[in-house]
Amino acid sequence: MAQKEKNIVLQGSIVVAAWLCFFMLPVQFFYYNIFYYSRARSPFESRQFITMFIVSNVLLICYYYLNSKILIPKLLAAKKIWKYIGMTLLCFFIYLAAIYFIRANSEETKSFAESVAAKGMDYGGPAFFSGGAVTLFLIAFVVSTGIKVITQWFDAEEVKEEISKQQLETELNLLKTQVNPHFLFNTLNSIYSLAIANNQKTADAVLKLSRIMRYTLEDCQDNSVALQQEIDFINSYIELQKLRLTNNNAVCFTTSGNISSARVAPFVFIPFIENAFKYGTSTHRPSSIKAVVQVSPQTISFSCENHYQVNGKNIIEGTGTGINNAKRRLELLYPKKHDLKIVAEEQLYKVSLTINFN
């Protein structure tokens, strides 16, 4: 049996057990209010009790569903407090009146009144407010109100969670659409520079770009992809960028660990690689970029180092849209499960990212 079916059976069993307990409450509250009954006798030997038992349960069940299905949603939830109180009191007095009517007109009550009169005592008639009847109504009121309020609270939390999830998905999708044009803009600039110089590598660059865009548009629609796919994407990007570099630029990208079994959010590393090429390469002075991805059973670690050429500008503050989007996506996709450190020292820019899957 599936877990969902087991939960339905369990909930149904609890509901049935609760109603059975509720049905037997009149036995406890009406039993000793029968005037001439002793504890040794069954209350179901009394017609008065049987009538009260049936009428009480029917009225309380009607009130239970009236309160939970109509009064609370239509009046209390709409802040019509006084109307809700008035309807509750009306139901309360109708219930008490029904119990009083049964007692006042039963043969057992009349027999008891006659026996009291024969002894020269004043009976005075059955009391309208019965302690047992009041208690039963209060139980029905508390239980129906409590269950309805708790159910509405859970429903509201579920709706709130669903709205929050949709907002998160919307923001993630927005950030992803911002990443793609940013990457495309930088890549087209590289191809443009090759085309201007009539470089024979232009056609190869366009082919590599088409592969990259296929991954971008078709293979990474979810919030996670196989790490191997992301690494292949990074390699294609690096090879594309190398087409415009000179021999003064050294680029090294390595991986280690069980790459094939890991998954990661798409485009989570590429903004740092882009940033390294943007600020860490030069056509007239030596520079280097070193990136590493390491996989362990619990974590994926990424590091990237590059020399930067910004003439004294604070590179941490000037990294732009790509880095900011990467930070925000990490906050949304891996809350409290990632550690990102960015340091610029002695013209060496270092990025260290650890994603924890525990």
* CATH code where residue 204 lies: 3.30.565.10
The answer on 291 and 218 residing in a single domain is yes
Burial 186-209 (b: 16+ CB within 10 A, else e): bbeebbeebeeeeeeebeebeebb
More reliable by pLDDT, 326 or 36: 326
Alpha helices in 197-348 (DSSP H): 202-214, 227-242, 270-280, 321-333
The answer on 198 and 80 residing in a single domain is no
CA distances from 127 to 36, 97, 217 (A): 16, 11, 79
The answer on 261 and 323 residing in a single domain is yes
Given a contact cutoff of 8 angstroms between Cβ atoms, the answer to whether 293 and 353 are in contact is no
The answer on 335 and 267 residing in a single domain is yes
Please state the separation of Cα 159 from the chain's center in Å: 8
* pLDDT for res 170: 61
Given a contact cutoff of 8 angstroms between Cβ atoms, the answer to whether 176 and 266 are in contact is yes
Above pLDDT 70, what percent of the chain?
A: 68
Average pLDDT, the chain: 76
Domain-located, residue 88: yes
| Number of domain units in the chain | 2
Domain-located, residue 143: no
The answer on 191 and 47 residing in a single domain is no
The answer on 211 and 97 residing in a single domain is no
The answer on 81 and 174 residing in a single domain is no
The answer on 82 and 206 residing in a single domain is no
The answer on 223 and 98 residing in a single domain is no
Nearest to 221 by CA among 169, 272, 258, 261: 169
The answer on 282 and 178 residing in a single domain is yes
For the residues 288-298, what does the mean pLDDT come to?
92
Give residue 263's identity as a one-letter amino acid code: R
The rounded distance, in Å, linking the Cα atoms of 238 and 133 is 81
How deeply is 233 buried, as exposed, middle or buried, from its count of CB atoms within 10 A (0-12, 13-18, 19+)? buried
Domain-located, residue 141: no
More reliable by pLDDT, 28 or 347: 347
Domain-located, residue 140: no
Domain-located, residue 136: no
More reliable by pLDDT, 8 or 222: 222
Question: What pTM was estimated for this model as a whole?
Answer: 0.54
* Structural domain span for residue 174: 166-356
pLDDT tens across 299-321, in order?
999 999 988 755 544 444 445 66
pLDDT tens across 139-161, in order?
888 888 887 877 777 777 777 77
Domain-located, residue 144: no
The answer on 56 and 171 residing in a single domain is no
pLDDT tens across 188-222, in order?
887 887 788 888 878 888 888 888 778 777 767 67
Nearest to 238 by CA among 306, 178, 177, 175: 306
The answer on 309 and 194 residing in a single domain is yes
